[in-house]
Structure 1
Amino acid sequence: MIDLNDVEKIRQIDTMNSLITTENYDVQFGESLDLGKNFEVANPGRKFHEIIILGTGGGSSVAGGLLRSYLFDELEIPVIVNQGYNVPAFADSDSLIFVVSHSGNTEETLAAYEQAIKKGAFMIAITSGGKLAEMCRNDGIPTLIVPYDIGHPRRDIGYIFIPMLVILSKLGLIQDKEEEIRGLIQLLSTLKKRYGAETPVEQNPAKQIAMDLYGYIPLVYGSLEYYDSVAWRIKNQFGENSKLMAFYNVIPCLHHDEAVGWDMPQELIKNFYLMMLRDDLLDSPKIKKRKDITLDILRTRMGKVREIFAEGENRLCRMFSLVYLGDFITLYAPIYRGVDPTPVDVINLFKKKMAQQ
């Protein structure tokens, strides 16, 4: 195993600097706020029935999920995250559609875009370029161009999430969020000192958890209404960053089905490492009780169980405090095994095979 106190070795393994990019989330989120504020979008003068986000993967679709969770009790219309080739039948001229493809070449999103155009929906694109930018220019669709980075949108979550939040405010669908966003930027600036590569294992919870879960299958339990998408994000990051199969579910939903699976044979369930996402402020008394009971039952069944608590002065901060910790954990986990966290060879293999005639 790699010594996670050996910063030079960590940097050598992380050949595409995903740790550095993550450490600089405060800068990225600040730039994202400016991009959103400088983006001009005319109010279409219509009442939207729903918001549909066309996007796939750990950046685009997860950003949509985080948006839905964060605005659960404020947005008066539903948010639908649409990850496939087709748009739902209810999409029409009263739909607000965000078309999100960081590369601009995601085939599912491009196919859905072509259908959405025919529906007459009000559309806004977020991309770094590619075919999507070209199609939007031809169709007159407002397009926010974001930095390309290296083409791995999971590490560019700020460039996707923050502009959508600002645009919704400009359209009058939510209150202005600049103060909360600036609070988040400040929190990220603080947390990167706690989780960054320079901070030794003894003072670094992200490194500690990454080492502790070695040899186990990660299982992330979030909760409604605000931590379902956070759990989804962390699960996805285990896949892309850590090269580990991982799973997630949501309380209270899992107590009506998955919980029965806790009676699986001991030699199987002991392979799981449960990360329970908790929030002493946002979790309702019922949710807190359900989490307590879940932990009480699973501590004697699963291999390991760990509680992870949110922090921050507002809901946005609290949600992203866990997203941020999850990002670092899932980067250190492969580095601990000597594996570069950034390449996604299997995804590239799928793309290659899909392109074959």
Structure 2
Amino acid sequence: MTVDLNDANKIREIDTMGSIKFTEEYDKQFKEAIDLAEAFDVKKLNGKIDEVVILGTGGGSSVAGGFLRSYLFDELRAPVIVNQGYNIPSFVDENSLVLVVSHSGNTEETLSAYGQAVSTGAHIIAITAGGQLKERCERDNVPCLLVPYDIGHPRRDIGYIFVPMVIILNKLGLIEDKTEDLKSLIDLFGELKKEYGAEVPIEKNLAKQIAMEIYGHIPLIYGSLDFYDSVAWRWKNQFGENSKLMGFYNVIPNLHHDEAVGWDMPESEIKKLYLIMLRDDELDSKKIKKRKDITASILRDRMGGVREVYARGDNRLARMFSLIYLGDFVTLYTPVYRGIDPTPVDVINLFKRKMAE
């Protein structure tokens, strides 16, 4: 039995923690994040920065680091390394900028890596809603930006995590001011929520259409370099946390050198997959466009479904987040269509309890 996605009241009844409403209000969240970050006191760096290392895990912190890497691909002259484990790489030293991101402030991997980073003499700045990370930053005299806690699900709080990193890098003198890009993005959120919101009927709502098409399939997301690798990663993570579905992603052109051979798997198996191809008529190069055309053409008759979705917006940040925003709605409607609340993460909580034993 599936749920009628034209019934907005039913959608909101199933979504007991209001994640769809929270997503509809990304424009407010991102605006608040700008205000918080602009009020945060950070001085320009005098010395050399060899790399920006982001300590964080999960669908909020680490993915935000991926967005930063993609967005600033051809501007930031230091590499961005997203470090998701307990330990830091040996190259972290006094010439490293370390951004420590844990929404709860209690992520054990991040706290472990933070302790190691402090001992290196690296430049460290933290972003958190509190917890042990806040306490340790106060003890170690490390600058710490406090953001709203919400309900403790950082995938809903991507604005509070990503936006401060952008503004902090500007304050440190590492990138140009991105205020106009951020304002344009907020305007775009205001437009797109009128297309993807719960009250918008199926026939006019691309997010609901894709959620219904995915039913009974395994989602596969193909992004591309240089700007849509992290966006595909976000979709994959959101299918896991929001939709309670195993999802997979890969990146063009890389996948054409290995994974593509797997397209010759038995028809009974490949038909279980539903491909979502992330496309951008402005940012994708001619070579990437051709590779995506060929990929979609080959897979359309092989997989259970192929849907190509296109970026929108008047700058790179807006175009990236136009597809992130669509993905967030798709992955929220996907479980609701099956009558499942998208917000609880019971398996993650179970794992944390077992780790604490």
Distance 1:306 1:44 in 2: 45
Match of residue 112 from structure 2: 111
Kindly indicate whether residue 294 of structure 2 is the aligned counterpart of residue 293 of structure 1.
yes
For residues 85-140 of structure 1, the C-alpha deviation after alignment (integer angstroms, 9 at most, x for no partner) is: 00000000000000000000000000000000001100000000000000000000
Q: Which amino acid aligns with 1:70?
A: Y
What does 1:145-156 correspond to in 2, within 5 Å? 145-156=146-157
For residues 242-261 of structure 1, the C-alpha deviation after alignment (integer angstroms, 9 at most, x for no partner) is: 00000000000000000000
**Displacement, 1:43?**
2.3
SS of the equivalent of 1:156 reads helix
Distance 2:111 2:268 in 1: 45
Q: Which amino acid aligns with 2:324?
A: V
Kindly indicate whether residue 124 of structure 2 is the aligned counterpart of residue 123 of structure 1.
yes
**Scaled by the length of structure 2, what TM-score is found?**
0.99
Say whether the 8 Å CA contact 2:45–2:173 is kept in structure 1.
no
Distance 1:139 1:213 in 2: 48
Identical amino acids, percent of aligned pairs:
70
Instruction: Compare 34-43 and 49-58 and name the one that shifted more.
Output: 34-43
Match of residue 337 from structure 1: 338
Match of residue 316 from structure 1: 317
**Displacement, 1:300?**
1.2
Distance 1:163 1:144 in 2: 8
**Scaled by the length of structure 1, what TM-score is found?**
0.99
**Displacement, 1:51?**
0.1
Match of residue 228 from structure 1: 229
Say whether the 8 Å CA contact 2:23–2:156 is kept in structure 1.
yes
Kindly indicate whether residue 276 of structure 2 is the aligned counterpart of residue 270 of structure 1.
no
Match of residue 140 from structure 2: 139
What does 1:74-89 correspond to in 2, within 5 Å? 74-89=75-90
**Displacement, 1:45?**
1.4
User: Which stretches in structure 2 are left out of the alignment for 5+ residues?
Assistant: none
**Displacement, 1:42?**
1.8
Distance 1:341 1:12 in 2: 11
For residues 136-159 of structure 1, the C-alpha deviation after alignment (integer angstroms, 9 at most, x for no partner) is: 000000000000000000010000
Distance 2:16 2:301 in 1: 39
SS of the equivalent of 1:124 reads strand
For residues 256-310 of structure 1, the C-alpha deviation after alignment (integer angstroms, 9 at most, x for no partner) is: 0000000111100010000000000000000000001111111111111010000
Q: CA RMSD in A?
A: 0.5
Distance 2:336 2:302 in 1: 28
Distance 2:225 2:168 in 1: 25
User: Which stretches in structure 1 are left out of the alignment for 5+ residues?
Assistant: none
Distance 1:4 1:306 in 2: 19
Distance 2:281 2:46 in 1: 41
Q: Which amino acid aligns with 1:354?
A: M
Q: Say how many residue pairs are matched.
A: 356
SS of the equivalent of 2:101 reads strand
Distance 1:349 1:46 in 2: 44
Following TM superposition, the consecutive aligned residue runs of length 4 or more in structure 1 with deviations greater than 2 angstroms are none
Distance 1:240 1:26 in 2: 22
